[in-house]
Amino acid sequence: MDLEYIVQKNKADKGLRFVNYIIDFFISLLFMSIISTIIVFIAFIFDLNIYLLFENEFLINLITYSLYYFLIENYSKGRSIGKFITGTKVVTLEGEIPKSSVFLKRSLYRLIPFEAFSFLGANGWHDSIPKTAVVIKKHFDYEVEMQKNVAAIGTIDE
């Protein structure tokens, strides 16, 4: 089955990708705030040096930002909250659900400085480097199902 063609045909446009980014950016800020609050609370309970945490706040936020994308995309099979809202999902260029290692790479590549502007090209770096694409889910799934049905014509079920 030639899923590569279906992936290219159903790729989400830049406008939809931008909406995904905006939604996920604000959700990730909320996620970072919750994690930071938990860390401060734990530091307070165990009487840890809270100033050390504030000195490393940037690093903590980077880790939390990557963790948000990795966890949500990995466990939802390629859909962040923004992608759920816009009806899109992440697939490999071959049309498969990416492995956990690919979702981790996507999450870490988002930390490259100016990566957010890389989507102005054909793909963002977090897609082009790990060889993934964001597709419109209902169109992609429909075409994959149709191709499976066509391939099944003439076969005998046992």
Q: Positive or negative, the Cα torsion across 11, 14, 19, 24?
A: positive
85-111 pLDDT, tens digit each? 999 999 999 999 999 999 999 999 999
Beta bridge partners of 90: 134
Q: Is residue 156 part of a domain?
A: no
**Does residue 127 belong to any structural domain of this protein?**
yes
Instruction: Answer yes or no: is 158 within a domain.
Output: no
pTM of the model: 0.85
Exposure string of 30-53, with b = 16+ CB inside 10 Å and e = fewer, is ebbeebbeebeeebeeeeeeeeee
Residue 32 within a domain: yes
Q: How far is CA 70 from the centre of its chain?
A: 7
Which domain does 93 fall in, by range? Answer: 3-151
CA distances from 86 to 18, 22, 43 (A): 10, 11, 38
Between residues 50 and 64, the one the model is more confident about = 64
Domain count, the chain: 1
